[in-house]
Amino acid sequence: MPRQRLSMRRIKQLLTMRFGAGASARSIAQELGIAPSTVREYLSRAAAAGIVWPLAADVTDESLMARLFVNAGVRVGARHHAEPDWAALVREFKRPGVNLLVLWEEYRAVHPEGYAYSRFCQLFREFERRLSPVMRQSHAAGHKAFVDGSCRVPGWWMWVVPLEGIWCDG
């Protein structure tokens, strides 16, 4: 769960204590009742934003907040390319003759600036891992025979499902 930001009053206290009084991160943390890592984070944000002390008279609370949290809306690891419909790709992947290279080529035809093949495969596998591999089937005992095979691979076996009258030879 993301942390709540400090109030503007507390941020200004933090900056005053550090730049006005020269206090350490540990003493600021004790005084404000926050973690020393939070103090260091806000001080590094201030340094990255180029905030100098004392603040200029025209700096408002909103502009200070905007300067401190310039990239706050961007998540770490956020995706910057067009996302394909992963569920549709998984369904398409199950069809005979379809592999990841074919799916990626179709994706790149629609989105030329999209993911490279290696990243596309990585994201596809991550999506597959989140899927539930369970297939629930309810059946009466002795009514059906379940055969594990697609009947497309040439082989030496032959199956018969007597109640259904289906023959499947390899």
pLDDT tens digits along 14-53? 999 998 888 999 999 999 999 999 999 989 988 888 888 8
Cα torsion at 64, 65, 68, 73 (round to 10°)?
-150
Confidence at residue 40, expressed as pLDDT on a 0 to 100 scale:
92
Confidence at residue 1, expressed as pLDDT on a 0 to 100 scale:
40
Residue 157's contacts (CB-CB under 8 Å, 6 or more residues apart) are 149, 169, 170
CA atoms within a 13 Å half-sphere pointing along the CA-CB vector of 63:
8
Residues 53-78: tens digit of each pLDDT: 888 888 888 888 888 887 655 565 66
> pTM for this one?
0.44
Confidence at residue 147, expressed as pLDDT on a 0 to 100 scale:
65
